[in-house]
Structures are given as C-alpha cells and as structure tokens.
Amino acid sequence: MKIYQSILTASFLLIMLMSTSFLLSKKSILDLNKSSPFECGFSNFSSTRLSFSIHFFMIAILFLMFDIEIAIMLPMFISWKLMKIKEWFLMSILITSIILYGLYHEWMNGVMEWSK
C-alpha cells in the first residue's frame, strides 16, 4: 500500500510540474514569416543551415570508441598483481583483439580515409 501511495504522489507531483512548466513557458506558436531570417526584404538566397561533414562525425565516434577502450584497459595493468598470469594474459589478449577488430572494421568501412 505504501508503494502504491508513493507512486501516486510522485505521479501527481510530476503532472503538476509539467503543467506548471507548460503554462509558464515563453514559447508560443509563431507563423513561418516571423520565425524566418530577414534579408533586407528579399527571400532567402540560400539555406540557413550549414552543411555538416559526416566524415568528421565518424572520426569523432572513432576517437570516442578508442578512448573508452583505453579506459577499459587501464585497470588491466593494475590488476596483474591480483590475478594469475595466465588469466591476466588471456584477458589482455581478449581486450586487445576486440580493439584491433574495431580498428580493422573501421578501416575496411573507409572511416580512416582522410581525403575523399
């Protein structure tokens, strides 16, 4: 019964906060002409959005992938005193092979090419 009452109270507070934020928000529905950029009375000559190169995004993802894998490998060097040498060696080979497979996969997909 206490759990049911807690869930009901939390739901009520959530609904109250959401409705209060909806009523107090400054957003209003604007028409298209008011929200479009103004260029001295002329129609837009080009798109207001800048193009984004997907290649730089893929390089950033590749960097994050290897950064996380290095963070996974760091405790491995501390734990070699706590583990048997055979277990530590197998674990380090497994982690290194996963990293190398990820590098191979990215290389074969062409993410590592700097000029296209």
Per-residue pLDDT for the chain (116 aa), expressed as one digit of tens each? 888 899 999 999 999 999 998 888 766 565 556 666 666 666 666 666 667 777 788 788 878 888 887 887 788 778 778 888 898 889 889 888 988 888 888 888 877 776 65
* 3-state SS track over the chain: CHHHHHHHHHHHHHHHHHHHHHHHCCCCCCCHHHHCCCECCECCCCCCCCCCCHHHHHHHHHHHHHHHHHHHHHHHHHHHHCCCHHHHHHHHHHHHHHHHHHHHHHHHCCCCCCCC
| Residue 104 within a domain | yes
What total of structural domains would you count in the chain?
Answer: 1
| Residue 94 within a domain | yes
pTM of the full structure: 0.45
| Residue 72 within a domain | yes
In this prediction, residue 33 carries a pLDDT of 60
| Residue 66 within a domain | yes
| Residue 60 within a domain | yes
| Residue 98 within a domain | yes
| Residue 77 within a domain | yes
Residue-range definition of the domain harbouring residue 73: 54-108
